[in-house]
Structure 1
Amino acid sequence: MDDQHPKSLRVLSIYERLRKGEAISKKREAERFSVNEKTIQRDLDELRAYIAEMFQGLMELEYDRKKNGYVLKKDEEGWLTNKEILVVSKILLESRSLPKEEMDRILKKLIFQSHPQNQRFIQEVIQNERFHYVPLQHNQPLIEIIWELSSAVHTKRIVLIDYKKEGSDAPVARKVKPVGIIFSVKIP
């Protein structure tokens, strides 16, 4: 087996657990991966350099004496607060614009952007609204369509759409040059 393969799995495992808020002990990691503590220290040094470059001060890998291990410290500005997640979640849920699968996927990712200690709490706060979420009747995935239209707006590209007037049975093909995207729900 390639020597780099176990190292990459080891480093990714450590990084993923750090992102979940776990404290990483060099001794326990050395035992877990059957390597010495110097190897784990090199892994942590590589992760520290990666985090410093990618997150430019919003996150740092530090030793926490109370937890007796290395932890990922995120500047408070780097995490979404519970209040921010709640507001964005409510706006998304109340819009009823996305199919349930797309909505659930986005909310899961949004919650993951909160501090690991807060994730369970915010999940419980919006749980009832997620459960009772009733999407609009179109049942079409929209994320890809919205992305493509946004791209067409940005690049000033003409797109071909099928347009169906309300009350009409047959759609009409139209070439359009979109200039923006708005969302509107017609309430009967």
Structure 2
Amino acid sequence: MANNEEIFAILKVLIESTAFPKMEMSRLIDKLISLEKKEDRSLIQRMMSNEKNLYVQIHHNNELLELLWQIYLSIQSKKSIT
């Protein structure tokens, strides 16, 4: 299990990347926070609440998680991407 510092570092890098639309980023943040020990979750949630509110998303508004996964699967199976 990751410790507080590791999860916080991953969250900060993820947020600073501004790689995902706000809804996807929010889901990713929540899922990473859920990996915290129960007694530590409230601390990291407080730390990330402001980050989530101030997050500036990229401008294309397309969800990327599914697209990234499909690209990965295509690469692994050596299929062309259309």
Task: Tell me the TM-score normalised to structure 2 length.
Answer: 0.94
Q: Which amino acid aligns with 1:152?
A: S
| Structure 1 segment 92-171 matched on structure 2, within 5 A | 92-160=14-82
Which of the numbers 2, 12, 16 marks the counterpart of 1:90?
12
- Aligned pairs, number: 82
Q: Which amino acid aligns with 1:100?
A: K
Q: In structure 2, what is the equivalent of residue 24 of structure 1? A: none
Q: In structure 2, what is the equivalent of residue 80 of structure 1? A: 2
Deviations 1:27-56 (A, max 9, x none): xxxxxxxxxxxxxxxxxxxxxxxxxxxxxx
Deviations 1:102-158 (A, max 9, x none): 111111110010100000001111221111000110110000000000001111111
Task: Tell me the TM-score normalised to structure 1 length.
Answer: 0.43
Cα deviation, residue 159, structure 1: 1.4
Shift >3 Å, 4+ stretches: none
* Counterpart Cα distance in 2 of 1:85 and 1:128: 16
Higher helix share: 2
* Counterpart Cα distance in 1 of 2:2 and 2:55: 23
Long gaps (5+) in structure 2: none
Which entry has the higher C-alpha Rg, 1 or 2? 1
Between 1 and 2, higher relative CO (CA 8 Å, sep ≥ 6) is seen in 2
Q: Which amino acid aligns with 1:155?
A: S
* Counterpart Cα distance in 1 of 2:2 and 2:52: 19
* Counterpart Cα distance in 2 of 1:153 and 1:139: 24
